[in-house]
Amino acid sequence: MKKIIAGNWKMHKDRAEAAALIDGILQASGDLPSDVDMVVAPAFPFLADAVDRTKGTRLRIGAQNVHAATHGAYTGEVSVAMLASIGVQYCIVGHSERRQYWNETDAEVAKKIGALLRAGIKPIYCCGERKEERLAERHFDVVGAQMKEALGGFNEAELKRIVIAYEPVWAIGTGLNATAQQAQDMHAHIRSLLRTHGSAVTDAVPILYGGSCKPDNAAELFACPDVNGGLIGGAALDPGSYTALVRIAGE
Ligand code: PGA
């Protein structure tokens, strides 16, 4: 399966910095392996500019969040239709920071996924356990329950268009990545849960690892049979380390 390196820029980079980061990645992309899909997710104000800057290139643009409704009185929100109208192709949903700070639930995430699929935008669905859940050895159950709630209502054709990112909360921004074995075990678990929706789904859905993934530890993580790339925070904020990750994913 083709690997994906998706950069989640979070609330970083102003207009000029976002443009410079995109240009830096594009400048380096000539000699990058072609069998890796490259995605970056800047903040909302810079999405349209990012889509324009990357026209005709292999770099795809994603959003970091979306509202499930097509339009309406939702002050401060951005709709799927708005994202589609500027050419955004991916959207991260269910990130643990949104779950933690905005109490986002898997039921809400399911609605966002449905709206994105109807608009032809690929959802990158994030799941993952918190530290205390891993310590209590409940991580497989937690991720299984998240997936059931967020993805359980979709059919085979819909699920085939989703990307999953396993992001253990204790590894995000902490410098403490999951070991290759921990990642592989969870990714295999996620794939076995997808199998209940049919083998076509199992084979089609990329499962990315996220959480302190960087050029130093990526080779080991990406070598795992069920790890199909990464959702990268900190290490995606620099063109050198982002493109290094693309290179490692292509090895
Ligand atoms: P990190 O973030 O790579 O900085 O740990 C990953 C993420 O939150 O998607």
What does each of the 251 residues of the chain score in pLDDT, given as a tens digit? Answer: 999 999 999 999 999 999 999 999 999 988 899 999 999 999 999 999 999 999 999 999 999 999 999 899 999 999 999 999 999 999 999 999 999 999 999 999 999 999 999 999 999 999 999 999 999 999 999 999 999 999 999 999 999 999 999 999 999 999 989 999 999 999 999 999 999 888 888 889 999 999 999 999 999 999 999 999 999 999 999 999 999 999 999 99
Where along the chain do its domains lie? Answer: 3-250
List phi, psi (to 5°) of 51: -60, -45
Q: Evaluate: CB of 227 within 6 angstroms of ligand 1.
A: no
- Catalytic sites, residue numbers: 95, 167
Instruction: Write the residue with the smallest CA distance to atom 2 of ligand 1.
Output: 233
Q: Which atom of ligand 1 sits closest to the CA of residue 235?
A: 3
CB atoms within 10 A of CB 192: 13
Q: Evaluate: CB of 173 within 6 angstroms of ligand 1.
A: yes
Please tell me the pTM assigned to this model: 0.97
The pLDDT value recorded for residue 100 is 96
Q: Evaluate: CB of 212 within 6 angstroms of ligand 1.
A: yes
Q: Does domain 3-250 have CATH number 3.20.20.70?
A: yes
The SS3 of residue 112 is: helix
Q: Which atom of ligand 1 sits closest to the CA of residue 177?
A: 5
CB neighbour burial string for 220-236, b if at least 16 within 10 angstroms, e if fewer:
bbbebebbbbbbbbbbb
